[in-house]
Structure 1
Amino acid sequence: MRVIDGMHRLLAALLRGRQTIEVELFDGTPEEAYLHAVKANVVHGLPLSQVDRRAAAARIIESHPHMSDRAIARASGLGAKTVAAIRRSSADAVPQLNTRVGRDGRVRPLNALEGRRRVVAVLAEHPDASLREVARLSGVSPATVSDVRRRLAAGESPLPSGTEPTELPGTERGGDGTQRAGSDSRSNQTFMDPVPVMEKLLRDPSLRHKEGGRQLLHLLRQNAVGVQDLMELSDAVPPHCRSLVINLAQHYRDAWQSFAEALDDSV
């Protein structure tokens, strides 16, 4: 009978003299209840302070070491890089696992090299399999499969350049460790985590105190999604809507590109 979420609503009901209140029962361990409580308090009510969020993330890392940095970041309201730093500082108290569970519930290897090695093996065994089927069999994202398949088709190493050399079955020497995405000339681009960038912009008074600045922050906040997150959202697009979504995505891409070029020209 411990309240996980809704302390203030319960207190308000008591002050009004109510004898009962409608509740949603939670069935789980104390650690799961704590995770649920943190998630709830991040998205509504009085925002948690940065200290509270970091403390929450540290506790979740200890109780749920299998959760990915992005999953814990989303639960605690921090950036993935901040969570990764907290995890590193807690390395002695946290068991070291070979896989983690992402926000989509999928289990992925910590070592991206191992994931790409499995993609190469699966593609060799099932060359006609779809991206999603290879991703399912390999335990990686469809974006990684797409990148590996493109590199192999071009006669390149399936590993991004500039990483530590390691032998892969049927490939030249290479290495992995940097998150890459895409299937064109931009596939060698390293994508940043937008969350800490947005946190910095949201704290800037020169943006927050202007109408135009607030509008820009609103737009940027709506678009603050990582490449990996977009790849996961591709599952939600039904076949009959794909062409429409593709056209919109390309339109938004061109609009933001023009905006970036205009800013660059004004420097």
Structure 2
Amino acid sequence: MRVIDGMHRLLAAKLRGQEMIEVELFDGTSEEAFLRAVEVNVSHGLPLSLADRRAAANRIIASHPQMSDRAIARAAGLGAKAVAAIRRRTADVVPQLRARIGRDGKSRPLNSVDGRLRAAELIAERPQASLREVARFAGISPATVSDVRKRLESGLAPVVEPARAPETPADAPAATADTGDRRVEPGKSQLQADPSAALEKLLRDPSLRHKEGGRQLLRLLQQQNAVVTRAGEDLMEAVPSHCGTLVLDLARYYAGTWMDFAKQLDERVRMENRRGAGE
């Protein structure tokens, strides 16, 4: 009978002299109760701090190692990359599994090679089978099955070969860079492992929050962060086959628009740095 959500509501009821309060009973282990408490407190009430969310993700990884990075990220209110970084740091004490369960409840292998090979065998044996049917037996997503089928139809191997980095001649000159006093180094990502942390920093910046243009930019960035956090195979599965080309074109168009914005901003940062170095 431990309260996992609603401590303040319970205290308010006691202060009002109530003897009864309506509750929702949760039957589960202490680990499951903690996961539920984190999920509900991320979505409402007093927001958890970044340190609290990181600590919660660390504990969830230890108690639910079978959950995917994106599933834990959604529960703890972090980015999937931040959860992946925490998981890497705890690799010595947390069991490493061959498959993880995503937010949709489906189990997917960490190494898709085996799943792709199984899918290729099933496609050869049952060419009329649907993508979802093959995906269910192979343990991969329908989008991955579709890619395997297209590769087989093109005469390619079902497994994508990793790209090899071009070899650099021994006598090639080393790359050089301007080592002037830069406040921000253009072209180098400042996000590290967690874009949500960078977004939080921007959200606290009054120079952005107190201007209409700045607030519009923050809203756009928040929307993009939500897409990145929730992106993955579950979004691809939501796209009907007859809409695939149109969604693909829109994704490429919007990505190109952000790239143009990034190039213009990169050029502005370089000019400001050059002016700052000359002062």
1:168 matched residue in structure 2: none
The AA in structure 2 aligned to 1:196 is: D
Kept in 1, the 8 Å contact 2:79–2:196? The answer is: no
Letter in 1 for 2:195: V
Amino acid of the structure 2 residue aligned with 1:44: H
Matched with 1:11 is 11
Name the structure, 1 or 2, with higher relative contact order (CA <8 Å, separation 6+).
2
Counterparts in 2 of 1:226-265, with a 5 A limit? 226=228, 229=231, 231-233=233-235, 235=237, 250-251=249-250, 254-255=253-254, 257-258=256-257, 260-261=259-260, 263-265=262-264
- Which residue of the partner structure matches residue 186 of structure 1? none
Compute the displacement of 1:38 (Å): 0.7
Matches within 5 A, 1:1-267: 1-162=1-162, 196-204=194-202, 205=205, 206-223=207-224, 224-226=226-228, 229=231, 231-233=233-235, 235=237, 250-251=249-250, 254-255=253-254, 257-258=256-257, 260-261=259-260, 263-265=262-264, 267=267
Whether contact under 8 Å (1:67, 1:102) holds in the other structure is yes
Q: Assess if the C-alpha contact under 8 Å between 1:202 and 1:208 holds in 2.
A: no
Which deviates the most, 61-70 or 82-91? 82-91
Q: What amino acid does structure 2 have at the position aligned with 1:64?
A: H
The two structures have a TM-score, normalised by structure 2, of 0.72
Residues 84-130 of structure 1 show CA distances to partners (whole Å, capped at 9, x for unaligned) of: 22222222322221111111100011112222222222222222222
Write the letter of the residue equivalent to 2:231: D
Length-normalised TM-score, structure 1:
0.75
User: 5+ residue gaps in structure 1?
Assistant: 165-192
Distance in 2 between residues matched to 1:249 and 1:21, nearest whole Å: 51
In structure 1, the partner of 2:184 is none
Aligned residues: CA RMSD: 3.0
SS in 1 for 2:227: coil
- Shift of the alpha carbon at 1:13? 1.4
1:201-243 deviation digits (Å, cap 9, x = unpaired)? 342225444322222332333343249835424555689xx65
Q: Percent identity of the aligned residues? A: 58
Number of equivalent positions: 235
Task: Give distance in 2, aligned partners of 1:150 and 1:47.
Answer: 45
- Quickly say closer, same or farther: Cα 1:132–1:210, change in 2 above 3 A: farther
How far does residue 28 in structure 1 lie from its aligned partner after superposition?
Answer: 1.0
Which consecutive unaligned segments of at least 5 residues does structure 2 have?
165-190, 268-279
